[in-house]
Structure 1
């Protein structure tokens, strides 16, 4: 059998009669599952089970547009972020971080042209300096601008002046203060030809611009100083595109004496000496070098996760931040192509490097291992750049230096304590909105609150986290696997045996499976996945699209969604995951659909207490043009099918784009069917468009042939719990409370919410 098993990874334990006494295990099924579970070798050392951290999320805020680079006023009461698609600065009042409030946006375009790429706030909180890219491209070398705004009254921001800089400014940072204030600007000039190559071989090289801002405080400006990078790159061994420097990101050392500027496509870092108050100079050019991963990476996009591959990766850092005056951290995102030597772009982690170019610490596989353990590893990016670490920021929290590391593809913020840069200590992994781009920290508020903030480009949102020196309070538990050898994600259905929860993923994974969630430590802020059951059919891996699961006395019923009507299927498995029965939709039910090609199907299944009757939620109804879903009932002893229609809500902005559907169904002891109804807002549909994330109830007795059911609102997750995730997918009654979980599509934030009594 083992020769026929595909690359399914690390099924490390299965239920036994001792752990699930109500289930009947056949010898053949148990032997099959045990063989599968032991067919794999460990690919990574185990990481410790998660513990409560010191940062806790205090708010997830949707914004109108996107949120990219973000900064805060020194008093920590106002956030300012760039929104390139709107050509605007967004402002948020965070006087109370738990109740942030949007302030009027500022259109920063010049004559309707341009996009803000970065923003920084002066140390006195008086000015916001915005880098503007002016729609330059391969044929148009339009120079960029710095736009200066007075933000002392964030409700009435006023424009002060503009300063012309080089083509395509990307990042900027401010050095000095008052009459010594300067802006250090990464002039990327990322021109792209018809083939998508971001270089013109030196025809328009990027540079670093140092811009005097002293005149804002009554002194004479030092003007614009441009630092050439070509000759230094040509002299750097191994530099990529040495004639075409592309400066990416800027960070100023804590003592203000040095700027570190990444040249991402060139795989280099430039250090700029800022000690002279009016004349900067290039101190040295450093190679970012390569990361070597030996047998501990996943390079296969195959819906399975195993760290067994090897590669050499050019770091190609995006963001940079200083953790001391001698050591800086690089976010090794990667941005190029596979090299002629076989090297790949991106290091899939972060690096601590000193000012001599020596590696102080390399995260190696550890960052991605943590992503796996917390359900944030994007297998869809395994063949590309993995988790793509794009952002880094540093600050002192509770008196200790911390490093915050942001993953664009994994949608997380990894927190490290870096008192010893040679041995950073992993603190916790914080989920963010989709594609965190910018990170900022707030540590000097008058009320003593210390905060971390991410701006999330993918779903248009901002996350705020508060630091708690004595340990963060538990609001919602975080799910994590027992160790990094148990990958998980895309939770699409929940059920329970009264002691544990059981979850299935959709087809984001190759072989279908069931995970067991240990709920014993929810008050400690964690839920641990401690068992995994591979699903098999005739000793072969089962590969379906599970969207619902219902526990019964001798196993589980799985509801698998079909690509078309005839693909919907109920699958009975025993405790070891072996298929016992498969039930397709009968012709009489298939005939109800307006089209046999309709791509709507099962989203949940629930069973009566005696296991004799199943109820299934069909995502949308028989005719997609009507605002209805369908509820099916199957009486197993007689194989009698019954169907009823369920009325769906309609989105207020765009009912077609943000269409409604059902995601889950649960039967209560008092004879109600609870239905999880959601729109397509949130996630890729932008957080601000999330309107309907609700739980309704209908009477199970009303499910009779042809009935149109009457529903009653039970929970409004968007209104009462600020639920902004698109895919509210799983729901279960556990010890009297209603628990809801979202499908994270295989990577990203999995929110497990106790919504209270139904």
Structure 2
């Protein structure tokens, strides 16, 4: 630690963490039962809610934007196959909002909105499909339900089968959600499906909620119930339905075979955190703030007899008393409305340790836990809770619901909306599946009862403790023992992370030190680091400028203090087509003697040309050399999914390795990720005005299914090539061992 230079920010960080509880320390060694990802599947269209057939061989997901159900064959979970999609629209209208599968696997039951909004009170449908042949799905029947159906779940089987449907009627307007003050209250519809098996249908029974809500303290919008999510306890023949905007849940008694009964409604209450939250969007993660917030649960799931989990996402606004929306974690409650367990700060601490805490959402509901499900894996009860903004799933063992035991944090695709479990396959494989709404993908994870075998999972980076928040890794280097990474300007003060890779084969990298960068006068350095190169007496940092003139090379010593700053000379700046061009440095690497630096310019001198640029600087003589690098082009839309360089590394045999990637993946949608490739050029060929010839070294998209958009860090460590992506401050940081270069 004597290499760190502590400034005012450092002291503030230390003070904030001193206020937090022991829960913020690195978690204890997890149980041996673990999950490992087996596939990350890009899909065509949004993947929102996902369900699995009882045999565990087929997945069905809703794609509201396209008006379809997606079908996936997972006979081999490591090689899933997309099947023909099913159009659920009616005369061009229709958003599938939820899907459930009958217990015998014969039918998919789908809730469909039909274009309702604040001005159109159009009722929705429950559409039923025969899915016994997943490649040739057949429509069976439609049932009209209330306005704006959202979640649905199935109760019973065969001649007792019913669907419980949350009729949200969220009255969406141009600005988002609206409320009409009770003119269009939501409700719960219980839909009889007994006739699918030759019985007499019990029809549609509507359960109104306004009168019940009006009698309960702590309810928001009591005249406008908005049911959100449904979970069924088959043993107790009971449903729990979240009323998210109302900060409430409803319990439905389903014990009668044809008539459901509203058992009770109660508020989900509030969460209070004292001195262990971050409420500021300031590019620094400091858990020192306090708040009280309404839970406002989205998904709910039964986890034990009489106990259910709530994912406390939040959906409202701060009230006059300063109470916030969203509990920033999850809660276990019993059917009397009593809290059995509250996660408190633990979920967000786990997010921080694993690089998934979204500081950009600190002022607005934090990690936003949105999805939750439960299942038995290896004979033990497990709880799985998904974070929309942090893009992860927390896994807990629930041997005792009063003391959930954290197992691990699983990175997912962006914004997991739906979760499902697969636990009854004949081959014994048990799976967890996430549907990732923001990037259009599914993640499949396999449960390993004896622990994940060494090498079966890509390593995760975890901070040693909660004083080391991290994310947005955009450049890598090494001293032969440790890895060093820089985050881009996702953090306020620039910094260098030190990473211990000694346990990589066991699936773990440890972030054990951070060096905050300062000017010579002690002021915080605030730039946009995109590359880093280790030299004998410190590091060179490549900072990407907002304009051509702002690109900069910055030399810091081992304590992180700036020693030298080098701007582009006028002769190089003049090569750019426009001085306002924002593309700039994306990487830097140094010769063994530290005398020569090579820099990668993301998209070159002219954005209209498919070229990047490689710059060379001989430091003793201040001599600059520029060469052009030919970029690949995206096959679908070369302008939208433009190409660029993200990293550069000099090898011992005189090659420059270049990490080249397109804009596909992430928010550009996983299915559009084509080019995530490593090429090499000869360093000796970097002569003034040359156009370099590149040789493919590794195709990350093809060889490693690398669909993360921002593949930005690369380093050769002990003869092996490692690649990592920039997670934009929160989300999946994927480390790939790409073998010898």
Give the TM-score, by structure 1 length: 0.95
The residue that corresponds to 2:287 in the other structure is 307
Residue 605 of structure 1 aligns with which residue? Answer: 588
From 400, 414, 428, the counterpart of 1:448: 428
Query: What is the match of residue 3 of structure 1?
Result: none
Kindly state the Cα deviation for residue 39 of structure 1 after the two structures are TM-superposed.
6.6
Against the structure 1 CA distance between its residues 200 and 425, is the aligned structure 2 distance closer, same or farther, given a 3 Å change threshold? same
- Residues 44-91 of structure 1 show CA distances to partners (whole Å, capped at 9, x for unaligned) of 331236667610000000000110000000000000000011100000
C-alpha deviation, 1:33, in angstroms: 10
- CA–CA distance in 1 between the matches of 2:622 and 2:2? 31
* 1:703 paired residue number: 686
CA distance in 2 between counterparts of 1:512 and 1:195 reads 36
- Matched residues in 2 for 1:740 and 1:219: separation? 58
Secondary structure in 2 matching 1:445? coil
Q: How does 1:284-323 map to 2 (within 5 A)?
A: 284-323=264-303
Give the equivalent residue in structure 2 for 1:106.
86
Gaps of 5+ in 1: 1-12, 17-28
The Cα offsets for residues 608-629 of structure 1, whole Å up to 9 and x where unpaired, read as 0000000000001101000000
Gaps of 5+ in 2: none
The aligned counterpart of 2:325 is: 345
SS of equivalent to 1:589: helix
- 1:380 equivalent in structure 2: 360
CA deviation vs aligned residue, 1:176-235 (integer Å, no higher than 9, x gap): 000000000000000034654521100000000000000000000011000010000000
Q: 1:732 to 1:193 in 2, by over 3 A?
A: closer
The answer on 1:494 being equivalent to 2:494 is: no
Aligned: 1:264 with 2:240: no
Query: How far off is 1:448 after superposition?
Result: 0.5
The 5 A counterparts of 1:180-579 are 180-193=160-173, 196-473=176-453, 474-537=456-519, 538-579=521-562
Q: What CA distance in whole angstroms lies between the structure 1 residues aligned with 2:27 and 2:471?
A: 19
The 2-side partners of 1:512 and 1:42 are apart by 22
CA distance in 1, matches of 2:36, 2:627: 43
How far apart are the structure 2 equivalents of 1:658 and 1:167? 39
Post-superposition CA distance 1:241-274 (Å, at most 9, x none): 0000000000001415110000000000000000
CA distance in 2, matches of 1:338, 1:180: 43
The answer to whether the Cα contact below 8 Å between 2:314 and 2:365 also exists between their aligned partners in 1 is yes
TM-aligned CA distance change 1:50 to 1:599, over 3 Å: farther
Q: Distance in 1 between matches of 2:160 and 2:84?
A: 31
Query: What is the aligned partner in structure 2 of residue 585 from structure 1?
Result: 568
Distance 1:193 1:650, change over 3 A: closer
CA contact (8 A) 1:30 1:576 kept: no
CA contact (8 A) 1:273 1:281 kept: yes
- Aligned to 1:71, the other structure's residue is in SS state strand
2:42 equivalent to 1:42: no
**Counterparts of 2:6 and 2:296 in 1: how far apart (Å)?**
48
Asked if structure 2 preserves the Cα contact closer than 8 Å seen for 1:631 and 1:644, the reply is yes
Aligned to 2:180, the other structure's residue is in SS state: coil
What is the aligned length? Answer: 734
8 Å contact kept, 2:7–2:522: no
> SS where residue 367 of structure 1 aligns?
helix
Instruction: Name the stretch that deviates more: 567-576 or 254-263.
Output: 254-263
* 1:635-672 deviations in Å (ceiling 9; x for gaps): 00001000000000000000000000000000000000
Name the SS for the 2:363 alignment partner: coil
Classify 1:541/1:273 alpha carbon distance in 2 versus 1 (closer, same or farther; 3 Å): same
Q: Does 1:97 align with 2:77?
A: yes
Cα shift readout 1:695-744 (whole Å, capped 9, x = no counterpart): 00000000000000000000000000000000000000000000000000
Cα pair 1:254 1:325 within 8 Å, conserved = no
Q: Secondary structure at the match of 2:549?
A: helix
In structure 2, the CA distance between the partners of 1:320 and 1:701, relative to structure 1 (3 Å rule), is same
Query: What do the CA deviations read for 1:328-366 (whole angstroms, capped 9, x no partner)?
Result: 000000000111111000000000000000000000000
* Equivalent-residue separation in structure 1 for 2:415 and 2:700 (angstroms): 23
Partners of 1:272 and 1:313 lie apart in 2 by: 26
Q: What is the distance in 1 between the residues matched to 2:133 and 2:202?
A: 28
Change (3 A) 1:408 1:14: farther
Q: Distance in 2 between matches of 1:362 and 1:722?
A: 37
1:568-621 superposed Cα distances (whole Å, 9 cap, x missing partner): 000000001000000000001000000000010000000000000000000011
Rounded Cα–Cα distance in structure 1 between residues aligned with 2:126 and 2:8: 65
Tell me if structure 2 keeps the 8 A contact 1:459–1:682.
yes
Q: How far apart, in 2, do the equivalents of 1:32 and 1:111 lie?
A: 63
CA RMSD, aligned part only? 1.4
| 1:56 alignment counterpart | 36
Deviation of the 1:290 alpha carbon: 0.2
CA distance in 2, matches of 1:254, 1:579: 64
SS in 1 for 2:18: coil
Query: Is residue 641 of structure 2 the alignment partner of residue 658 of structure 1?
Result: yes
Report whether the alignment pairs 1:641 with 2:617: no
1:718 aligns with 2:698: no
- What are the superposed Cα offsets for residues 361-386 of structure 1, whole Å, 9 maximum, x if unpaired? 00000000000000000000000010
Scaled by the length of structure 2, what TM-score is found? Answer: 0.98
Aligned match for 1:74, one of 54, 59, 74:
54
SS of residue paired to 1:216: helix
Aligned partner of residue 757 in structure 1, secondary structure? coil
The 1:194/1:408 distance shift into structure 2, 3 A limit, reads closer
Q: 8 Å contact 1:14–1:532 — kept in the other structure?
A: no
Structure-2 separation of matches of 1:197 and 1:435 = 20
